Structure 1
Amino acid sequence: MDILGTILWPIKWVIEAILVTFHTLLTAAGMDTDAGLTWVLSIVGLVLVVRALLIPLFVKQIKSQRRMLEVAPQLKKIQDKYRGKKDQFSREAMQRETMALYKRTGTNPLASCLPLLIQMPIFFGLFSVLQGAQSEGNPAGIGFLNQELATSFGTSELLGAPLHLAISTAGGNINVIIIAAIMVVLMTGSQFITQLQIMSKNQSPEMKNSPMFKQQRVLLYLLPLVFAFSGFTFPLGVMFYWLVSNFWTMVQQFLVIRNMPTPGSEAALARENRIAKRNARRGITIVEESEAKPAVEPKTTQRQQPVGKARAKKKPATPR
């Protein structure tokens, strides 16, 4: 076993366990054990489990990206300070000031990439599981994917398109080409919307003038090329994982921008307006209720003091 295989071994074991668990549940619910739809829904279940576990890291990623954009102007000042200076002393000084800035502001350049870095081994682990199950003879996996399930997974089809095929290996199968092309469009569209809503709604004016914002704009138009390449080379089963993961990211990003926007951004102003309108409506409702139900003054009862016999017989003098 090579180094990559050693690294992926525990990941593949977990992937097989999740796939087989969902496949067993779907089969118990009455679905065909060998149907491609059953295996696709099992892959969807895998995405839901993985992305749910990554939610804390995603929140950390959002906060890290926000801090990086906020400190970008300060970082640019340090870079401009040592621009053109290539001596060892200047490089070390720039490195020290940069690290001091990161430490002072609590930022970490690698934190924003952490969820992606964690998902990549899972992605390649699924690719390896799918590739292994659908290779010649459909060999069993390393864990829960036994010979019977490996054969079922390796020969499954969705709408006449085998899940192990890609456009590059379709061999003229028009169903594979059409499904892969549709998924490429959906993957590109979902990623474009996700990135666009970050750039257009969740950026403060200072962030839009930072160098990192320009890098995001380049990434916005570069990703479609990445998805086009993946749609040509990756099997349908792996593409289903990527597509569902993109949809999860798009919805998750929408909720984060709506409820936890960057201060000073368009999304933050929109949230403040929603809160103000909601408070205004509540205030009107309270006033209307108070006007509809006028307050009734409580009746006060004064306790009469007991009067003694001597005081009761004594009458006040009549004024003349």
Structure 2
Amino acid sequence: MLNPLYHLAANAIVFFRKGFAPIFGADSFFAWAFSVVLLVIAVRVLIFPLFVKQVKSQRTMQMMQPRIKEIREKYGHDKPRMQQEIMALQKEHGNPLLGCLPIVLQIPLFISLFHVFTHLAPMNEGPNGSLVWRPRVGLSAEQVEQIASAKVFGISLASEFGSDSDFVHFLGVNSTHVKILAVVLIVLMGLTTFMTQRQIMARTGPVDPQQAIVQKVLLYGSPLMLAVFGFRFPIAVLLYWLTTNLWSMGQQFFVIKRMPPVRPLPA
């Protein structure tokens, strides 16, 4: 079902690599790495209008908090009526679920990129069981080999912290260097995820107790979860996630700084 997305992600990376090839060389690690970075930038620019709507939606939720608190106090004994009043308020001032759209739209791209870079290993289909390259998810056998074989300091974009020994030996990857870079990227990924979540909490302002618990779980749980799973992510995916976080931090700072202060809705 997701094959079209896998092909789209793969073709986009190949397309961007053509632009970097004259600068770094067609088979350069940096040509492919910057293609991943440019893919992030292209996607984030495309969904920028949705991000602005997300910020406005969150600010609206912040403005509604005093009114929601009043409704909870007034109808706390009548749960159905309380929910009805809150839903009516949200309907009047905008659906807060719209704020989730930018995150939701990026999930398929992340899955596609993860799929592309975890399917670059050679296959045991050559003579006498030798390893050979095969076409994968929109990439020719030659392109698969170019991406996986492009290295800097013995590090391939397709390698990960726990890369299979056959893969390491076949490509001539330096497993120590891969582990060092993977750990650095995982730490930076976790740190920037934490900082991004802190930004979101700061701009959301005071929330009800249940939302506060959710925010704290996301603040500390998201970086921890990414750190755990990051050891199974290829270097390219770690680079993608770090770039996304850095873009998010800069984008949030730029947009929020230019918006007027949040004021509660009139009673």
Same fold flag (TM > 0.5): yes
Please, which runs of 5 or more residues in structure 1 have no aligned partner? 1-5, 266-320
Candidates 71, 86, 100, aligned match of 2:88: 100
TM-score normalised by the chain length of structure 1: 0.69
State the AA in 1 paired with 2:54. Answer: Q
Secondary structure at 1:46 match in 2: helix
Q: Distance in 1 between matches of 2:46 and 2:157?
A: 26
TM-score normalised by the chain length of structure 2: 0.81
1:70 aligns with 2:63: yes
Q: Distance in 2 between matches of 1:218 and 1:76?
A: 22
Relative distance call for 1:199 and 1:230 in structure 2 (3 A) is same
Q: Distance in 2 between matches of 1:39 and 1:138?
A: 18
Q: How far does residue 261 in structure 1 lie from its aligned partner after superposition?
A: 4.9
Contact 1:134/1:153 (<8 A) preserved: no
Relative distance call for 1:170 and 1:246 in structure 2 (3 A) is farther
Secondary structure at 1:68 match in 2: helix
Q: How far does residue 12 in structure 1 lie from its aligned partner after superposition?
A: 1.8
Q: Distance in 2 between matches of 1:161 and 1:151?
A: 14
Give the number of the structure with larger relative contact order, counting CA–CA contacts within 8 Å between residues 6 or more apart.
2
Q: When the two structures are aligned, how many residues end up with a matched partner?
A: 247
Q: Distance in 1 between matches of 2:96 and 2:7?
A: 31
Q: Distance in 2 between matches of 1:185 and 1:68?
A: 32
Q: Distance in 2 between matches of 1:220 and 1:78?
A: 28
Q: How far does residue 61 in structure 1 lie from its aligned partner after superposition?
A: 0.7
Calculate the aligned-residue CA RMSD, in Å.
Answer: 2.6
- Quick one: percent identity of the two aligned structures? 38
Please, which runs of 5 or more residues in structure 2 have no aligned partner? 124-131, 166-173
Contact 1:67/1:105 (<8 A) preserved: yes
Contact 1:69/1:210 (<8 A) preserved: no
1:109-258 residue pairs with structure 2 within 5 A? 109-136=96-123, 137-143=132-138, 145-169=139-163, 173-200=175-202, 202=203, 207-208=205-206, 210-211=208-209, 212-258=211-257
Q: Which has the larger radius of gyration?
A: 1
Q: Distance in 2 between matches of 1:264 and 1:82?
A: 24
Q: Distance in 2 between matches of 1:245 and 1:102?
A: 30
1:260 aligns with 2:259: yes
Match in the other structure for 2:128: none
